[in-house]
Amino acid sequence: MTIFIKKVVNHIFATFFHDTLSDLRATFKYKLLIVSLMGILAVTAIATLLYYS
């Protein structure tokens, strides 16, 4: 289960960075977006683990 989550997260971030590295003018906005995405993913992962444990 955790391996699947890691693969999905890695795929999302790889795609995200590939799409956004070309536009570095909005770096701050992307940093905020990454932080919020990481927070959402962390909460989702913890909730999922707690639900299935």
5-19 tens-digit pLDDT: 788 888 877 777 766
- Rg for the chain (alpha carbons), in Å? 13
What's the pLDDT tens digit per position in 21-52? Answer: 666 666 777 788 888 999 999 999 999 999 98
Q: What is the pLDDT of residue 23?
A: 67
The pTM (predicted TM-score) of the whole model is: 0.43
Q: What tokens were used for 38?
A: 């990481």
pLDDT of residue 21: 63
| H, E, C per residue of the chain | CHHHHHHHHHHHHHHHHHHHCCCHHHHHHHHHHHHHHHHHHHHHHHHHHHHHC
Check if the beta carbon of residue 52 is closer than 8 Å to that of residue 4.
no
| Cα–Cα distance list, 44 to 20, 25, 38 (Å) | 24, 30, 10
